[in-house]
Chain A
């Protein structure tokens, strides 16, 4: 299904952690709120990319 090895998906993990934490850090001052916002951000981005991935897989299967 994937033209590249799934191991490449591991490149995503450090990026999403850094992006989510920095994004959360630039929205709040309280540590708990930062972590909460970071979790929500990471979940949102991952879900969005997951949806795009499914759409592309379906298109690939159909065409």
Chain B
């Protein structure tokens, strides 16, 4: 991958104008593929958008609206959310929900107020607190209702978030075209190396 200016790179024989890289990376985080649409790389933009968003949506279909939520309370440290947040805008409603729940939770007892009602029918809302593994709580109710689907939905959305991190890098710096084999080739005679280059380009 050659670069002949800060924002134009040469990849697979094509010149790619990355335009404003930082903006492209931010758009890629906000909506998977949006950064590539901004850079006029429409094919890849569509590919990333379809792949990542379909994985995300499938995760919700399998596990329900609670596979993505933000929580760092005692007994419920939802580390998955840090990875799911890679999808950006699609994971932001969870932050709104958790902020609302924090305000309705007593900091001393850790109990959520009885009159608390999450927004949007509980979509991306964290479980009612306290969450205790040894007792029946709302998290165990979600598992009971969805079975293995809750776990699968969680992992689908985590993987969607991780994939979008690769996409963000691609929007910022272009394709990461590293050779599959780490072996370095020995320098050869000019004729031999020219033949080899021609063969590689044809494949």
Contact = CB atoms under 8 A, between A and B. Distances in A.
B43 A26 contact: no
A25 B54 contact: no
Contacts, number: 65
B176 interface: yes
A15 B54 CA distance: 10
A31 B51 contact: no
Contacts of B156: 14-15
Nearest to A5: B148
Interface of A: 8, 11, 14-15, 17-19, 21-23, 25-31, 33-34
Given A15-B55, A22-B48, A34-B44, 17 more contacts: A14-B58, A17-B51, A18-B54, A18-B55, A18-B159, A18-B160, A21-B51, A22-B47, A22-B51, A25-B48, A25-B167, A26-B175, A26-B176, A27-B177, A28-B12, A29-B14, A29-B175
15 contacts: A14-B58, A15-B55, A15-B159, A18-B55, A19-B163, A22-B47, A22-B52, A25-B44, A25-B170, A26-B169, A26-B170, A26-B175, A27-B177, A27-B178, A29-B11
